[in-house]
Amino acid sequence: MAHDVPIDRELDLKGEVCPYTFVKSKLVLETMKPGEVLRVIVDHEPATGNVPRSMESEGHRVLSVGPAGERTWEIIVRKKE
């Protein structure tokens, strides 16, 4: 899907279920610099609600959540400063 925000890292978590969708996203985010943008791909629908919610509770900014193909979604998040 088109997006105008440059993506710094991409993480393919197809096949993962909660809470590993968030746990693995969090682990990658920890290694990134503040302000960088991560794109996470999931195919487990509850993750589209859970991951953004957990990301925001940790202070990161979820830029968008949307479809990324057949039964697949992308979550784009900016690491907090």
Partner 1 sequence: MFAFTEDEIVRYSRHILLPEVGGVGQQKLKEARVLIVGAGGLGSPAAFYLAAAGIGTIGIVDDDVVDLSNLQRQILHRTQDVGTPKVESARRALEDLNPGVKVVPYRFRLDAGNVMDLIREYDVIVDGVDNFATRYLLNDACVMAGKPLVDAGILRWDGLVMTIRPGEGPCYRCVFPEPPPPGAIPSCQEAGIIGAIAGIMGTIQALETVKLILGVGETLTGRLLVVDALEGRFRQVTARRDPGCPVCGENPTITQLVEYDLACDIRGNGAGDRTAAAGGAAN
Q: Closer CB to partner 1, residue 4 or residue 30?
A: 30
- In whole angstroms, the minimum distance from the beta carbon of 72 to partner 1 comes to 22
What are the residues facing 73 on neighbouring strands? Answer: 42, 67
Residue 66 contacts residue 39 (beta carbons within 8 Å)? no
When asked if residue 12 is in the footprint of partner 1 (CB under 8 A), the reply is no
When asked if residue 40 is in the footprint of partner 1 (CB under 8 A), the reply is no
Residue 63 contacts residue 51 (beta carbons within 8 Å)? no
* Structure-token match 């610099």, residue found: 33
Contact segment (CB under 8 A) with partner 1 among 1-9, 24-32, 36-44, 67-75 equals: 24-32
